[in-house]
Amino acid sequence: MTAVSPAPAEATAHTSRWPMTPELAALPKVEMHIHLDGTLEPAMKLALARRNGVTIAQSSEEEIRDSFVFHDLPTFLAVHYSNMDVLWTSLDYEELCYAYLSTAASQGVRHAEMFFDPQLHTSRGVPFDDIVRGYRRAIVRARSDFGVTAELIMCFLRDYGADHAMTTLMSALRYRDWIIGVGLDSDELRHPPAEYAAVFGRARREGFQITMHCDVDQVDSTEHIRQAIEDLGTQRIDHGLNVMESDALVELARTRRIGFTVCPLPYSTHPTRGLPELEVIRGMLDAGLLVSVGSDDPPYFGGYLGDNLQFMAEVGGFTLQELWLTQVHAVDIAWVSARRRQELLEELAGYARDHALDPSAAE
Ligand code: HPA
Ligand code: ZN
């Protein structure tokens, strides 16, 4: 592996299948469910493979895009993880994160809380520090270049087990100021939240905020949601649509003000799914749950946050009022300073005034 320039183009132009209307483009947005590792666009994969001297199976962007074939969570993860081999240097991570923030800012994102999975890289020999320092440099640059604020949430891969997660948590302690929270992702089969109780207990004592994935329609989905809330004290659930299968869980989530981060476009790519997800999301909003929207892994699922919101409007008939409310919810559940929360809420209040929305809907 050699580490020579030229640098890849930093921001990959994103051609959207769901171009936003001007009024949606103007909506100030907050992204709460994005995996930095999952933002690797084909053009950047190609450029990084060349720069780092990594042999890959494809020789064009089109071939890379054509390799994005999957039908459920495990097959998606296999495709996504196989693309990680091109990421090696701190600069690679910086460019990956800067490219995401640049695209997000171009769609009106004002604040993003971004997952990253260090175990995908430390397990290949990449130093933990190189990953975190690269991401941090991108966050600082993007704030000054685009005015977007961003935070890092470190996710544990649930298929690596609790010991590996605890070791990873220990590596993160010295970056306590740069990593705002911890989460749990990857393959959920036979990996309930309870397996990670000690890791999350320690994380909480160390001052990290807590979230975790409860993917849609997994084996024991509702039990995983219950464990995450009741036993592990999670503050948010990433996805979590199956909450709607239990009135008791809905009540629990509402009274504890649990935030949900849902990802509409990704659900639409799982043909085996029986539930009409957009209707479930509307049901969650109507039930008074704090529902925010994210894009998960944009190159694989057809778009960034703006695309997801436009998809909700066009296919699900969500009104501007409802989409605005999801952004207010995102600010509510964001792990930001009181001052930044106020700034974001003021931007959204200004938008409501300009677009004749009812601000009391958020109370
Ligand atoms: N679920 C679990 N793991 C993941 C996801 C997801 O949606 N995206 C990237 N890793
Ligand atoms: Zn996710």
298-322 pLDDT, tens digit each? 999 999 999 999 999 999 999 999 9
Q: What is the distance between the alpha carbons of residues 173 and 154, in angstroms, rounded to a whole number?
A: 11
Q: Which residue's CA is the closest to the ligand 1 atom numbered 7? A: 296
Q: Which residue's CA is the closest to the ligand 1 atom numbered 2? A: 186
Instruction: Please check whether residue 183 is in contact with residue 213, taking contact to mean a CB–CB distance below 8 angstroms.
Output: yes
With 0.75 as the threshold, say if the pTM is over it: yes
Atom of ligand 1 nearest to the CA of 239: 7
- DSSP codes of every residue in 138-153: HHHHHHHHH--EEEEE
| 151 C-alpha to ligand 2 centroid (Å) | 16
Mutate to test the pocket of ligand 1, among 33, 73, 239 (most ligand atoms within 8 A of CB): 73
251: tokens are 């009540």
- Does the pLDDT of residue 284 top 60, yes or no? yes
Confidence of residue 14 (pLDDT cuts 50, 70, 90): low
Ligand nearest to the CA of 33: 2
Q: Which residue's CA is the closest to the ligand 1 atom numbered 3? A: 186
DSSP SS3 for 261: strand
Q: What is the distance between the alpha carbons of residues 75 and 66, in angstroms, rounded to a whole number?
A: 15
Closest CA to 46 of 17, 85, 75: 85
Q: What is the distance between the alpha carbons of residues 152 and 177, in angstroms, rounded to a whole number?
A: 10
Instruction: Please check whether residue 239 is in contact with residue 215, taking contact to mean a CB–CB distance below 8 angstroms.
Output: yes
- Is 186 a pocket residue for ligand 1 (Cβ < 6 Å)? yes
In this prediction, residue 363 carries a pLDDT of 81
Higher pLDDT, 196 or 275: 196
**162: left (phi > 0), else alpha (psi -120 to 50), else beta?**
alpha
Domain architecture of the chain: domains with CATH: 29-355 (3.20.20.140)
Residue 85 DSSP one-character state = G
Atom of ligand 1 nearest to the CA of 266: 7
- Is 37 a pocket residue for ligand 1 (Cβ < 6 Å)? no
Pairing of strands 149-157, 179-185: parallel
